[in-house]
Structure 1
Amino acid sequence: MTISQTSQPLPPKYLQEDDLNEECKKFLSILPKEKGWIESYIYNYQGFWTAPRVIQGVIACQQQFQAQNSDIILVTTPKSGTTWLKSLLFSLVNRMKHPIFKQNHPLLVQNPHDLVPFLERRPYVDGQVPNGPFWNHVLDYWKECIKKPHKVHFLMYEEIKKQPKIQLKRLAEFLECPFSIEEENCELVDEILRMWSFENLSNLEVNINGKLSTGPENKLFFRKGEVEDWKNYFTIEMSEKLNHVIEQTFQGSGLKFLYT
């Protein structure tokens, strides 16, 4: 009898531990680490848990990257409306260069994680997942938004879904490219929202059948585009755990998640 063992699929390239330089390997040896649920291990660097290759990239960025005043940095967690917001941003800043937008190309973000609920596992609640704790990131950006509202614009998916036109106009003002009276009169705001709606984006041929060069299908970037869909997956116990973490982290900050 021959017994074969099924090998585990390799994690995405950006989570693999090959090609690390010796300096990074030495640095990782002194960092706290935990078993990863995709990669072999995740390490705690400056208060957050992440993969070795990410740490190597972050250190290089911290040492070499020089931000320009014209840079726009979109920071989100996967599956939180990132593709939608990136599309809206593209339209806002490029509407003078390309008055007639074409929908021939996908607008995608980083490789998606398999975001099945991990709340039943203690590491998620404790933040011991890639780039966790998520709540600390949110709180830090919230504080920066309060201190520097001209530099940091804080958005929630629920807010954009509820008042898309208002939020798009606020975003344009933040980017210092507000809509002119002429643009509003010709309903450009509505046209941008229609063009980059969930229905339009998810039904583009390239997002139905296309793939990234690294393998994942483009359709994985789209779920349902609905608010509060989490209620269809969370148990009461999971919801209570999540609410407890949020309340503890955000206490006294003035920040409240709209779904809690």
Structure 2
Amino acid sequence: MASTAANTAVPSCPVPFKDVDDGTVPEHTPKDEFGDLVAALPRRHQSILELRLFHGFWLPEHWIPGTIAFQRRFSPRRDDVVLASYPKCGTTWLKALAFAVAARGAHPPAAGDHPLRRLNPHDCIPFIDEIFAGGEEAKLHALPSPRLMNTHLPYTLLPDSVVTGGSSCRVVYVCRDPKDMVVSLWHFLRRAEPELSFAETFESVCDGTVAVGPVWDHVLSYWRASVACPDRVLFLKYEDLLLDTGAGVRRLAEFMGMPFSAAEEAAGDVEAVVELCSFDKMKGLEVNKPGGGTAGRYKAMPRDAFFRKGVAGDWANHMTPEMAARLDGVVREKLEGTGLAFA
């Protein structure tokens, strides 16, 4: 007699990573495997992080073993989707939107038992670097297709199997006005280091020594890839998503190969995704309120730390006109001639 598991169809939509994470002890530890390589890299301290200069980017030290393992061992599937971003540029929102879009067949966005109503978006879509850093690739293999994964790595540090075009794996990148990013980053880091000054965070962004920086090199790595390979790399702006989230959701669904049908449009499914993933809705869920637990393996942060304001233009409440002009000038100079600009 066949087992129940053998007769169960493989889901045709993503499942929350937390639902397949069985807590298996890692079989290997890249931290030990690549320790000597990491120790030889240039080093600096920023807030709660120890940074190492790795191929032109200041990565948190604990990321690098996982990054190397990811580069060497990742085997993409045809319908994988990698969600990428610079930190504090809309990562949590992009995860929620992408999961709601991709999972809507099994989990209608208006359903009361939708996974995003009980789980933080970071529990639904894993940071792929953390999986490899923990030697937990078996959990990644256990995810049904299509797999949704997340990274803060620049495009140039993604595995060759993703960037060379040999696979049809898709990449979605979201960026944000650097001024608002600085403010969001500062507030986020202060949850772990309350005495951190805004000036210190601002200076690290301007001189390029911020975590995963220089910021402009990070953004440009994805911008150039999206121009060269628009069928494989989708470049989104946080501000555009705020202005017309419905249009962004449709664009995301189309790019992921899951466009909304006429029937879904008529039923209001796009609007239901927008409502489910709205800032106020997500921030108001018990799992995302203060006391709702933490997210992140190495520097665990309270889940409510991922939901502050979710607006554009808050930078004006934190930096002087001179500071804003300075950062705008640095970014404008770095982006000159690329076709990319921030309003």
TM (norm. structure 1) is 0.83
Q: CA deviation at 1:163?
A: 1.2
Alignment of 1:141 onto 2:151? no
Corresponding residue to 2:292 among 204, 210, 219: 210
The SS at the match of 1:155 is strand
Q: Which has the larger radius of gyration?
A: 1
Alignment of 1:225 onto 2:310? yes
CA contact (8 A) 1:120 1:238 kept: no
Alpha carbons of structure 1 residues 190 and 120: separation in structure 2 relative to 1, 3 Å: closer
Identity of aligned residues (%): 33
Alignment of 1:114 onto 2:189? yes
Q: Which residue of 2 aligns with 1:46?
A: 55
The SS at the match of 2:83 is coil
Alignment of 1:76 onto 2:80? no
Alpha carbons of structure 1 residues 247 and 47: separation in structure 2 relative to 1, 3 Å: same
Aligned length: 239
Corresponding residue to 2:338 among 246, 249, 253: 253
Give the stretch that moved more between structures: 118-127 or 211-220. Answer: 118-127
CA contact (8 A) 1:183 1:189 kept: yes
Segments of structure 2 that go 5 or more residues without pairing to the other structure are: 1-28, 131-184, 191-196
Q: CA deviation at 1:119?
A: 6.0
Alignment of 1:243 onto 2:328? yes
User: What amino acid sits opposite 1:38 in the alignment?
Assistant: I
Give the stretch that moved more between structures: 110-119 or 54-63. Answer: 110-119
The SS at the match of 1:97 is coil
Q: Which residue of 2 aligns with 1:153?
A: 234
The SS at the match of 1:42 is strand
Alignment of 1:33 onto 2:43? yes
Q: Separation in 1 of the partners of 2:80 and 2:253?
A: 15
Q: Separation in 2 of the partners of 1:169 and 1:119?
A: 39
Q: Separation in 2 of the partners of 1:75 and 1:185?
A: 31
Alpha carbons of structure 1 residues 257 and 25: separation in structure 2 relative to 1, 3 Å: same
Q: CA deviation at 1:70?
A: 1.2
The structure 1 segments of at least 4 consecutive aligned residues displaced by more than 3 Å after TM superposition are 109-113, 115-123
User: What amino acid sits opposite 2:293 in the alignment?
Assistant: K
Corresponding residue to 2:102 among 93, 98, 114: 93
CA contact (8 A) 2:53 2:59 kept: yes
Higher share of residues assigned strand: 2
Q: CA deviation at 1:106?
A: 2.3
Alignment of 1:170 onto 2:251? yes
The aligned runs of 1:167-206 (5 Å cut-off) are 167-206=248-287
CA contact (8 A) 2:234 2:255 kept: yes
The one of the two structures with greater contact order (alpha-carbon pairs below 8 A, sep at least 6) is 2
Alpha carbons of structure 1 residues 148 and 119: separation in structure 2 relative to 1, 3 Å: farther
Q: Which residue of 2 aligns with 1:59?
A: 68
The SS at the match of 1:69 is coil
Deviation string 1:18-50 (CA, Å, 9 cap, x unpaired) is 9942x53322344222233323x4211100011
Q: Separation in 2 of the partners of 1:251 and 1:119?
A: 26
Q: Aligned-residue CA RMSD in angstroms?
A: 2.4
User: What amino acid sits opposite 2:189 in the alignment?
Assistant: D
Give the stretch that moved more between structures: 48-57 or 122-131. Answer: 122-131
CA contact (8 A) 2:43 2:52 kept: yes
User: What amino acid sits opposite 2:100 in the alignment?
Assistant: S
Q: CA deviation at 1:127?
A: 1.3
The SS at the match of 1:74 is strand
Alpha carbons of structure 1 residues 51 and 182: separation in structure 2 relative to 1, 3 Å: same
Q: CA deviation at 1:195?
A: 1.5
The SS at the match of 1:254 is coil
CA contact (8 A) 1:33 1:44 kept: yes
Alpha carbons of structure 1 residues 189 and 122: separation in structure 2 relative to 1, 3 Å: closer
Segments of structure 1 that go 5 or more residues without pairing to the other structure are: 1-17
Give the stretch that moved more between structures: 132-141 or 212-221. Answer: 212-221
Q: CA deviation at 1:107?
A: 1.7
Q: Separation in 2 of the partners of 1:230 and 1:122?
A: 15
The SS at the match of 1:256 is coil
